[in-house]
Amino acid sequence: MQPRHFISLLDLSSAELHTLIQRAIQLKTHRDPNYQPFKGKVLAMIFEKSSTRTRISFESGMAQFGGSALFLSPRDTQLGRGEPLEDSAKVISSMVDCIMLRTNDHETVTTFAKHSRVPVINGLTDLLHPCQLLADMQTYFELRGDIVGKTVTWVGDGNNMCHSYINAARQFDFKLNIACPVDYRPLQNIVDAAGHRVAFFNTPEQAAQQADLVVTDVWASMGQEDEQKKREFVFKDFQVNAKTMAAAKSDALFMHCLPAHRGEEVTAEVIDGPQSVIFPEAENRLHAQKALLEFLICR
């Protein structure tokens, strides 16, 4: 049987994603120490880039449910010395139950998955960050109920997080208003596939009109450190601040995948203010990924 992968939110059906979010909410309050569904199971985690939340949530999630996780850096494995990805995928997947990869190129994850005999999870690529969206959706559902028909505002770079928000708009059926500089728009094919759900605006205030949720991310992602100065200039009008939140509904939530740069993409006033839910959002990485791992490896 071909393994199921989670490389994009589109790899699961909308119904499967909704079930997974409900399961994540259940697991958050699950306190039975005898529940060990991952007993004897091993998750390999390959990180080409840094991580706090992704590494800790996957590692803790495996341990708390009786399994274990291996942290693998290309620097210390043969991957960094040019062993073909196809060979690595065949070898690693013959020894573990699931593999999570955080890579620069998205193609690294898709190629790896093609040759893996166990489920592969995308822990962030330059194109997508689907695991973060599971946590974000869980957080919205917990605090406000179903997101269907709601308005979400994305401010800033049309990056991996923005692409995953567009895919989430399709799967969870919400409206996504995007305010970003013209040269930093998300990829057109991803936008087109979402149809009428996605709209572009010139300013954060216009995009945030009547929004239920406002989201942003760093101006320079991992791997774009050299562009930091240029991006500070290009993105200076694409900040989430008090004016942006004032345009949104009075009960709108603010989310950010973290790490954040206060004073750049978001003011301290907003990210540390009453509408911000960044810490429950971060914690939900743990619960949402436990639900994802259950779905993928306990079939």
Residues comprising the binding site for L-ornithine? Answer: 160, 217, 221-222
Is 164 among the residues that bind ligand NVA (CB under 6 A)?
no
Catalytic residue from among 23, 129, 170, 197: 129
Catalytic residue from among 5, 23, 102, 170: 102
Rg (CA), the chain: 19
Catalytic residue from among 98, 106, 126, 132: 132
Binding-site residues for carbamoyl phosphate, in ranges, read 51-54, 78, 102, 129-132, 257-258, 285
Rounded to whole angstroms, the Cα distance separating 160 from 144 reads: 25
Is 159 among the residues that bind ligand NVA (CB under 6 A)?
yes
Site string for ligand NVA, 88-127 (x = CB under 6 A): ------------------------------------x---
Catalytic residue from among 212, 257, 287, 289: 257
- The answer to whether residue 285 is catalytic is yes
Rounded to whole angstroms, the Cα distance separating 64 from 35 reads: 9
Site string for ligand NVA, 209-228 (x = CB under 6 A): --------xx--xx------
Query: Binding segment for ligand NVA among 27-35, 156-164, 185-193, 235-243 (CB under 6 A)?
Result: 156-164
**Order of all β-strands in the sheet with 213-216:** 198-201, 175-179, 151-155, 213-216, 253-256
Residues that bind ligand CP (CB under 6 A): 51-54, 124, 132, 257-258
Q: What is the 3-state secondary structure (H, E, C) of 149-206?
A: CCEEEEECCCCHHHHHHHHHHHHHCCEEEEECCHHHCCCHHHHHHHHHHEEEECCHHH
- Beta carbon of residue 200, minimum distance to ligand NVA (angstroms, whole number): 19
Is 8 among the residues that bind ligand NVA (CB under 6 A)?
no
- Beta carbon of residue 81, minimum distance to ligand CP (angstroms, whole number): 25
Partner whose footprint covers residue 160, from ligand CP, ligand NVA, none (CB < 5 to 8 Å by kind): ligand NVA
Is 160 among the residues that bind ligand NVA (CB under 6 A)?
yes
Structure tokens of 15?
């119904």
Q: Please list the active-site residues.
A: 102, 129, 132, 217, 257, 285
- Which residues of the shown chain bind ligand NVA in the complex (CB under 6 A)? 124, 129, 159-161, 217-218, 221-222, 257
